[in-house]
Structure 1
């Protein structure tokens, strides 16, 4: 799975009440390692909670899983 496919899978998971989110985060982490990326970038408009609190919650959860998150 490529980096962009992993990001899209996470957006789909977020729209489906975080269904299989941990699996998608693991796929994203491995795709980032293959492509040499240090941070995953998400579009704020595509998030379920695009406000600051929602972004910080997402960053904290992904950090626990070993993925740095940024927003555009």
Structure 2
């Protein structure tokens, strides 16, 4: 896996979500690695860029990412 920054990993996740979650698990793993490398404890996503920006969509995303070991918040 190449060195990727947290913002790059988050952008890759936005792209994966827009492409019907294509390679989402791989992108989450990249994000987790980038977060560990940069010492970041939580990934911050923009609600407007999500496929389901409502509360239910955000909670579903938080739950899924939590299962993968990534804490998520939204702005």
What is the TM-score when the length of structure 2 is the normalising length? 0.95
Specify the alignment match of 1:30 in structure 2: 33
Runs (4 or more) in structure 1 with deviation over 4 Å come to none
Give the distance between the partners of 2:55 and 2:46, measured in 1 at CA.
13
Give the distance between the partners of 1:69 and 1:61, measured in 2 at CA.
10
Specify the alignment match of 1:20 in structure 2: 23
Aligned residue pairs total: 72
Two-structure CA RMSD over aligned residues (Å): 0.3
- Are 2:43 and 1:40 equivalent residues in the alignment? yes
Give the distance between the partners of 2:69 and 2:63, measured in 1 at CA.
10
Which ranges in structure 2 are unaligned for 5 or more consecutive residues?
A: none
What is the TM-score when the length of structure 1 is the normalising length? 0.99
Which ranges in structure 1 are unaligned for 5 or more consecutive residues?
A: none
User: 1:37 offset after TM fit, Å?
Assistant: 0.5
